Structure 1
Amino acid sequence: MQPIGLIRAPYASLTEVPRHGGLSPKVKARIELLPEFAEGARDIRAGDTILVLFYFDRHHDYDLVTTSRKTGQIMGVFSTRSPRRPNGIGASVVTVTHAASGELEFTGVDMVDGTPVLDIKPVDTTPVGVT
């Protein structure tokens, strides 16, 4: 697996990052795609909702139980958004605010600057059961 790009965000460290991007809806960041992957984003437009898969590259150890930042409750890591995970893969649903050649600006930021992006997928916002 190889990164397709990098996150450019206003957060320099994990301690600055909100629990999830919805907690700071006006903060913007961007994905800088590597040149060889830029064409893959050519149909993404402002207003699109996308799923960004990324690698928690600053954590190489993990905890199977952790304390929830939201509730203070002890929880299994797979029921939290903790970056300290066995495989270090993060997923965030974000809203694209601007799309240009090789760059996607978005809101919903909960990643550190320089985070490697592994994949981008569209999010189908159609309610379940509606065709």
Structure 2
Amino acid sequence: MNLIGFIRSPFSSLEGMPIQPTGAAGVRGKVEILPEYRAGLKDIEGFSHLILLYLFHRSEGFKLEVVPFLDSQPRGLFATRAPRRPNPIGLSIVRLDSVEDGVLHVQDIDILDGTPLLDIKPYVPVFDRRDGARTGWLELTGNAVTSQKSDSRFVAP
């Protein structure tokens, strides 16, 4: 994999961060694209939202059962969005405000400052939204995402 840039946000510590973009409504950040990849930003300003794929660069190790932020009982890792994973790849959907000299100005950012960026994809509702989607165990607790903050449970030992 090639890093294409870095994400800048107000979050310098893993603890106390929003756990998903919906919990970071209005939080501003920047996505700085390396010069050799900036030509790939052509036409991106026409999209209101972007999918960022990034490396959980402070994540070490993993367990196949975890207690996720929005629950108190162990769940299978792949039924969660926990950051400590076999391949520590994160995904966030952010709102694009503007593009300026290889920098994307975004909102709703829930990502640690300095996070390496792997890829950007436009969010397209007709491609990405699924009517009737089920949310498993999150149907009971998912609405708490706007107030839940991260704690030390996924910080590497």
TM-score, normalised with respect to structure 1: 0.91
Where do residues 106-121 of structure 1 align in structure 2 (5 Å cutoff)?
A: 106-121=106-121
> Aligned equivalents of 2:59 and 2:37: distance in 1?
26
Residue 125 of structure 1 is matched in structure 2 by: 125
> Aligned equivalents of 1:73 and 1:93: distance in 2?
27
> Aligned equivalents of 2:37 and 2:114: distance in 1?
17
* Structure 2: segments with no counterpart, 5+ residues: 132-157
Q: Map Cα deviations across residues 74-130 of structure 1 (whole Å, 9 max, x no partner).
A: 11111111110000011111110111121101112111000000000111112669x
Structure 1 residue 43: deviation in Å? 1.2
Q: Map Cα deviations across residues 35-93 of structure 1 (whole Å, 9 max, x no partner).
A: 10111112111752111000001112111111111122211111111110000011111
Contact in 1 for aligned 2:51/2:120 (Cα 8 Å): yes
Where do residues 38-117 of structure 1 align in structure 2 (5 Å cutoff)?
A: 38-45=38-45, 48-117=48-117
The answer on 1:5 being equivalent to 2:15 is: no
Say which structure is richer in helix: 2
Amino acid at match of 2:31: I
Give the number of aligned pairs.
Answer: 129
Q: Map Cα deviations across residues 7-60 of structure 1 (whole Å, 9 max, x no partner).
A: 001000211321101112010111000010111112111752111000001112
Stretches of 4+ moved more than 6 A in 1?
none
Residue 21 of structure 1 is matched in structure 2 by: 21
> Aligned equivalents of 2:122 and 2:47: distance in 1?
12
> Aligned equivalents of 1:26 and 1:16: distance in 2?
16
Amino acid at match of 2:37: F
> Aligned equivalents of 1:85 and 1:10: distance in 2?
24
> Aligned equivalents of 1:30 and 1:47: distance in 2?
16
Say which structure is richer in strand: 1
* Structure 1: segments with no counterpart, 5+ residues: none
Range moving further from structure 2, 40-49 or 71-80? 40-49
> For the aligned residues, what is the CA RMSD?
1.7
The change in CA–CA distance for 1:60 and 1:128 in structure 2 (over 3 A counts) is closer
The percent of aligned pairs where both chains have the same amino acid is 36
